[in-house]
């Protein structure tokens, strides 16, 4: 395959580069593309220094797959040129996720939907991917009626600059100084706040609406009821989620534990004696979604509670895109 990474110098772009090498993706050519601001930078791939090029509409000639992670506006601007060049765009932005003509793919959940692509395949939102991988195996056995989820989202979801800002803020606070916020709207170090994406007419922010709409599309379950609360927390990378799942009848905890132990992309992490369950520090750099603390909801006999963590940059973005490319 001849592959291009659009947005190669960003947090997800550099992770895509790492994963292409780690997974020995079969490629004969690799082109790194970015805005003019990053033109001329070099990145290393398999011991070779590759120069980043400024993207133009001519950049996609003789390319088979474009791994796009440069934001929605960039994806929209170049989608037509990519498809007309005969390439397939695997897009990590929100630009095309809810387009009925564009498959929204999590390979562990709906790989068969990939065959309907028309040149664009969408990578879901990170929180949606991480939750979906952790709960879909249960949904397959007994359809989920309702999901109540609270997310604990790391700075990496806002990019490499946000991660760096949290480090600077933490140092400022430790030095007795007032932390400054430039990338995120408020200081995140030693703090947390509801997700800062724009508010919708329903008083759910856009991040929360993504979890609702994307999960319904990926699960092919338009009637599933979902209520998310998304929160940004002072963690550098890896998101966590507290999930309550309601079924139409009881779901045995031991059965759920057995199913998730053998589920693709999932690793069960539970040590009840030590009160040890998934943590962002353990999920960082890992391919799997870590799931644990599976328990009966004491307030509802038909509901289960569970806790999960996943690397937002990896499975929540770059790895999922690479897995889609491997499916292609």
CA distances from 159 to 20, 22, 285 (A): 20, 22, 16
Per DSSP bridges, beta strands 53-54 and 48-51 are unpaired
Confidence (pLDDT) at 171: 98
Confidence (pLDDT) at 184: 97
Range of the structural domain that residue 196 is part of: 128-312
Spatial contact of 312 and 126, defined as CB atoms under 8 Å apart: yes
Active site residue 126: yes
Residue entry with tokens 């606070």: 173
Verify that 145 and 212 share a domain, yes or no. Answer: yes
Taking CA 97 as the corner, what is the angle to CA 95 and CA 101, rounded to the nearest 5 degrees?
105
Mark whether 292 and 191 lie in a shared domain: yes
- Choose among 158, 205, 156, 206: nearest CA to 183: 158
74 and 30 in a single domain? The answer is: yes
Are 123 and 90 in contact, with CB atoms under 8 Å apart? yes
Which pLDDT belongs to residue 287? 97
- Answer yes or no: do 137 and 52 share one domain: no
Q: Which among 126, 205, 230, 309 is annotated as catalytic? A: 126
What's the count of helices (H) and strands (E) in the chain, helices before strands? 8, 15
- CATH code assigned at 47: 3.40.50.720
Taking a C-beta distance cutoff of 8 angstroms, is the pair 318, 19 a contact?
yes
Q: Is 285 left (phi over 0), alpha (psi -120 to 50) or beta?
A: left
CA distance 125 to 207: 8
**Please, what is the Cα angle at 197 between 192 and 200, to 5 degrees?**
125
Q: Are residues 116 and 137 part of one domain?
A: no
Block residue for tokens 């979604």? 289
- Both 137 and 39 in one domain: the answer is no
Q: Are residues 81 and 216 in the same domain?
A: no
Separation between Cα atoms, residue 147 and residue 241, nearest integer Å: 12
CA distance 97 to 76: 12
State the maximum Cα–Cα separation within the chain, in Å, rounded to a whole number. Answer: 59
* Pair (112, 76) in one structural domain: yes
pTM of the model: 0.95
Same domain, 26 and 120: yes
Q: 245: closest CA among 207, 271, 219? A: 219
Give the active site residue among 117, 139, 195, 239. Answer: 239
CA 17/CA 236 separation, integer angstroms = 20
**Dist CA 322 CA 251 (whole Å):** 34
pLDDT in tens, the chain (328 residues): 999 999 999 989 999 999 999 999 999 999 999 988 899 999 999 999 999 999 999 999 999 999 999 999 999 999 999 999 999 999 999 999 999 999 999 999 999 999 999 999 999 999 999 999 999 999 999 999 999 999 999 999 998 899 999 999 999 999 999 999 999 999 999 999 999 999 999 999 999 999 999 999 999 999 999 999 999 999 999 999 999 999 999 999 999 999 999 999 999 999 999 999 999 999 999 999 999 999 999 999 999 999 999 999 999 999 999 999 999 9
The answer on 233 and 298 residing in a single domain is: yes
Q: Directed axis angle between helix 11-22 and helix 319-327, to 10°?
A: 50
Residue 284 to residue 139: CA distance in whole angstroms: 26
**Is the distance from CB of 112 to CB of 88 less than 8 angstroms?**
no
| pLDDT at position 160 | 87
Contact 312, 237 (CB under 8 A): yes
The distance from CA 112 to its chain's CA centroid, rounded to whole angstroms, is: 20
What is the distance between the alpha carbons of residues 81 and 76, in angstroms, rounded to a whole number?
Answer: 10
Q: Look at residue 2 in the predicted model and tell me its pLDDT.
A: 97
Same-domain check for residues 191 and 286: yes
Coil, helix or strand at residue 256: helix
| Co-location of 16 and 116 in the same domain | yes
So what's the pLDDT on residue 284?
Answer: 97
Could you give the residue ranges of the DSSP H alpha helices within 177-308? 206-219, 253-261, 280-283
CATH number of the domain that residue 280 is part of: 3.30.360.10
**Spatial separation of the C-alpha atoms in residues 244 and 222, rounded to whole Å:** 18
Instruction: Verify whether residue 205 is a known catalytic residue.
Output: no
pLDDT at 141: 97
Domain count, the chain: 2
CA 245, CA 136: separation in Å to the nearest integer? 11
């Amino acid at each position: 395959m001849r592959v291009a990474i659009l947005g190669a110098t960003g947090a997800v772009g550099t992770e895509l580069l790492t994963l292409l090498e780690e997974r020995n993706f079969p490629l004969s050519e690799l082109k790194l593309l970015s805005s003019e601001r990053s033109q001329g930078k070099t990145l290393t791939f398999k011991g070779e220094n590759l120069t980043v090029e400024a993207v133009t509409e001519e950049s996609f000639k003789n390319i088979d797959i474009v791994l796009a992670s440069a934001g929605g506006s960039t994806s929209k601007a170049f989608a037509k040129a990519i498809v007309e060049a005969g390439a397939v765009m695997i897009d990590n932005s929100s630009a095309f996720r809810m387009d009925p003509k564009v498959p929204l793919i999590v390979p562990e959940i709906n790989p068969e939907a990939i065959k309907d692509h028309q040149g664009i395949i969408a990578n879901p939102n990170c929180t949606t991917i991480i939750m979906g991988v952790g709960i879909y195996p249960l949904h397959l056995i007994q359809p989920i009626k309702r999901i109540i989820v609270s997310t604990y989202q790391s700075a990496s979801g806002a990019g490499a600059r946000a991660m760096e800002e949290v480090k600077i803020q933490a140092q400022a606070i430790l030095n007795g100084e007032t932390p400054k916020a430039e990338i995120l709207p408020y200081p995140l170090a030693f703090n947390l706040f509801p997700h800062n994406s724009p508010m919708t007419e329903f008083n759910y922010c856009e991040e929360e609406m993504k979890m609702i709409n994307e999960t319904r599309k990926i699960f092919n379950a338009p009637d599933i009821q979902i209520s998310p609360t998304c929160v940004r927390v002072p963690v550098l990378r890896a998101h966590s989620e507290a999930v309550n799942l309601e079924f139409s009848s009881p779901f045995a905890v031991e059965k759920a534990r057995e199913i998730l132990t053998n589920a693709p992309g999932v690793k069960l992490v539970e040590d009840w004696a030590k009160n040890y369950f998934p943590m962002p520090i353990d999920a960082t750099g890992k391919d799997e979604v870590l799931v644990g603390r599976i328990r009966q909801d004491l307030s509802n006999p038909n509901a289960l509670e569970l806790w999960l963590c996943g690397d937002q940059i990896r499975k929540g973005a770059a790895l999922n895109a690479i897995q889609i490319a491997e499916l292609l």
